[in-house]
Amino acid sequence: MWTIGPRRAPRDAVRRQPVVRPQGDPYGPVIPERDADTAPRVDDHCGLRHYLRIVTVIATESLSKRFPRVTALDRLSVDVGPGVTGLVGANGAGKSTLIKILLGLSPATEGRAEVLGLDVATKGGDIRERVGYMPEHDCLPPDVSATEFVVHMARMSGLPPTAARERTADTLRHVGLYEERYRPIGGYSTGMKQRVKLAQALVHDPQLVFLDEPTNGLDPVGRDEMLGLIRRIHTDFGISVLVTSHLLGELERTCDHVVVVDGGKLLRSSSTTDFTQSTAILAIEVTDTDEHPDGTRAVRDVLHARGIDTHDGSGLPGAGHILLLTAEGEETYDVVRDVVADLGLGLVRMEQRRHHISEVFKDSDEQALQGGDEQRKEAVGHGG
């Protein structure tokens, strides 16, 4: 069982009053309308005063965490802005270690990090007041109901009893557990337990939430529902999200920004649109007919006869029925259209292929192999 120590009362405990955001800032903090002209100020680490408008919610600089036999984080430097950010990496890449450091629960070996402008080394308690945390593993008490547990977590966060009960009811309704809220947690399914963990992370109205592998153990339907909830945390309530996952497709669909780590090192950090930008590769899918029972092969043969090289869309859904080719210009589209029409086939799709986040790992592996080959050649050249 984890504990999240005493926190301040949330910015707007029950969220019953009208709220506004800073002008021109759709991602800024929610401020009660009556206080919009006198928004609270805080001191940053340089002693400069500014409004509670966080441009960078997480910042790390040469952050490292070493254990006796393994390096979990290796000089990680990254900035994360408001919105929904995905932290992706294989199991053991250092994702959970990073979250523990950002919460001030585990000291870094070297480097520094800030969350919401607060230094994790000295302001861990203040950070946990403002941040919600959904742990990866099942750590819920089986003999209490979801309502009892979430109310307890709300009270620990500083909410008075009435506000804690009202916020709990609202939060459990938001995560889809309102009808089941009085049942003991021990009888819940995996998906329901994940929703309880999400509810306790949100009940105190944080500025930022850390979600550690929130779709673990869920079936496809439950996974889609959880991803929808995660997206709504930001779009509906203005709360920034850092979500970890080793499933790349989830982050492409959910996140505004993606940070890729591998072996504790940063591979890439950029917006999801940059990761998935269009390429010059066309993906083509056609129907079959009685005359051409394998329409894909028929199109490929004709295109090859016209000097256009194609290859199978390996790794794409329905890959056996998809052709990929390089579009040299607008005329390529016309050639494909004419070939499909002359063969009497139906054109299911002809679209520009987009990059996938998984390609970052492929590029990294290829570079590592090339680097290893160069080192071996150099060693041979020196008689090594």
Question: Do 240 and 285 lie in a common domain?
Answer: no
Q: What is the pLDDT of residues 152-164, one digit of tens each?
A: 999 998 899 999 9
CATH classification at residue 58: 3.40.50.300
For residue 52, being part of any structural domain is answered with: yes
pLDDT at 194: 94
* Number of domains composing the chain: 2
Low-confidence ranges of the chain (pLDDT < 70): 1-54, 276-280, 313-320, 353-384
Question: Do 180 and 297 lie in a common domain?
Answer: no
pLDDT at 358: 54
Q: What is the pTM (predicted TM-score) of this model? A: 0.66
> Three-state SS string across 199-228, please?
HHHHCCCCCEEEEECCCCCCCHHHHHHHHH
CATH classification at residue 339: 3.30.70.270
pLDDT at 118: 94
Question: Do 307 and 319 lie in a common domain?
Answer: yes
Question: Do 231 and 303 lie in a common domain?
Answer: no
Q: What is the pLDDT of residues 43-84, one digit of tens each?
A: 444 433 343 445 789 999 999 999 998 999 999 999 999 999
For residue 166, being part of any structural domain is answered with: yes
Domain carrying residue 347: 278-354
Question: Do 154 and 229 lie in a common domain?
Answer: yes
> Three-state SS string across the chain, please?
CCCCCCCCCCCCCCCCCCEECCCCCCCCCCEEHHHHHHCCEEECCCCCEEECCCCCCEEEEEEEEECCCCEEEEEEEEEECCCEEEEECCCCCCHHHHHHHHCCCCCCCEEEEEECCEECCCCHHHHHHHEEEECCCCCCCCCCEHHHHHHHHHHHCCCCHHHHHHHHHHHHHHCCCCCCCCCEHHHCCHHHHHHHHHHHHHCCCCCEEEEECCCCCCCHHHHHHHHHHHHHHHHHHCCEEEEEECCHHHHHHHCCEEEEEECCEEEEEEEHHHHCCEEEEEEEEECCCCCCCCHHHHHHHHHHHCCCCEEECCCCCCHHHEEEEECCCHHHHHHHHHHHHHHCCCEEEEEEEECCCHHHHHHHHHHHHHHHHHHHHHHHHCCC
b/e map 18-51, b = 16+ CB within 10 Å: ebeebeeeebbbbbeeeeeeeeeeeeeeeeeeee
Question: Do 140 and 258 lie in a common domain?
Answer: yes
- Which of residues 228, 256, 274 is at a domain's end? 274
Question: Do 220 and 291 lie in a common domain?
Answer: no
- Which of residues 274, 301, 325 is at a domain's end? 274
pLDDT at 280: 64
